[in-house]
Structure 1
Amino acid sequence: MSTTAQESEQPEIEVSEAASNKALALLEEESLDTDTAGLRLFVQQGGCAGLSYGMRFDTSPDEDDIVYEHHGLRVFVDPASIQYIAGSVVEYETGLQGAGFDVENPNIVSECGCGESFRT
């Protein structure tokens, strides 16, 4: 059974209102039920600094996921990833270089020059 954010001992993952609204709109475009589906945030091996973020939509949380909810968006984080991203904030940013989701992670001790990977 998944763990709710209140049951987790890790600092909460937060999602800005802009990021939640964009993710919810994308979920609806994919015809996914926003009552059960959500944004999966995870960490994977890769990049020149060692770790990189991954995001995708899932129809429901896995059994051992921690589930957060912000502004109507459900966010699923697996137990292996939470140790690297606890306390992070997911933002949605637009600019001259394009638009996209960005993770502001307080646990980073270094990142690669392009900002695509990090080390904690």
Structure 2
Amino acid sequence: MTETAISEVALTEQAAKRIAALLSTEAPGSVFRVSVDGGGCSGFQYQFAIDSSASAEDALVERDGARVAIDPASIGFLAGAKIDFIDDLMGQSFRVENPNATASCGCGASFSL
């Protein structure tokens, strides 16, 4: 975990509140994991999950009680990204504003570089 990696990804206030609420029902030490995998309609897709702990290699982003772990393979794809939580008439979802993406699908769940 490096300071550079920590500063590369930002959480909005809304995302931090939602993640903290999710983690409050989990075992102590749990983290919200964000990763990038191959797939989706645009080539890469974001994955969100609760994990029981972070690994030593993970970058950690913390804000207002939210702990987000990002694996070393994914952090390069997420450099400069902002993670937000949207709650509107269309539903609730985490959204990633990623400056590295050259295109994304209509729902924003996948992207290409």
Please report the TM-score for the alignment, with normalisation by the length of structure 1. Answer: 0.84
Aligned residue in 1 for 2:51: 58
Equivalent residue number for residue 85 of structure 2: 92
- Pairing of 1:1-120 with structure 2 (within 5 A): 3-4=1-2, 6=3, 8=4, 11-29=7-25, 31-33=26-28, 36-120=29-113
How far apart, in 1, do the equivalents of 2:5 and 2:12 lie? 21
1:44-66 per-position Cα deviation (integer Å, ceiling 9, x unaligned): 01112100000111121112111
Aligned residues: 113
Letter of the 1:32 partner, please give it.
Answer: A
> What whole-Å deviation, never above 9, does each CA across 1:61-119 have from its counterpart, x for those lacking one?
11211111112211111111011111111111111110111111111101124432111
Root-mean-square deviation (CA), in Å?
1.7
Say which one has the larger Rg. Answer: 1
The residue type paired with residue 56 of structure 1 is A
Task: Give the counterpart letter for 1:51 in structure 2.
Answer: F
Determine helix, strand or coil for the equivalent of 2:108: coil
User: Cα deviation per residue 1:13-38 (whole Å; 9 max; x = unaligned)?
Assistant: 11111111111111223x322xx221
Q: Give the 3 Å change call, closer, same or farther, for CA 91–46 of structure 1 in structure 2.
A: same
Q: Percent of aligned pairs with the same residue?
A: 37
Instruction: Structure 2 unaligned segments of length 5 or more: list them.
Output: none
Gaps of 5+ in 1: none
Judging changes above 3 Å, is the alpha-carbon distance between structure 1 residues 95 and 12 closer, same or farther for their aligned structure 2 residues?
Answer: same
- Whether the 8 Å CA contact 1:10–1:82 is kept in 2: the answer is no
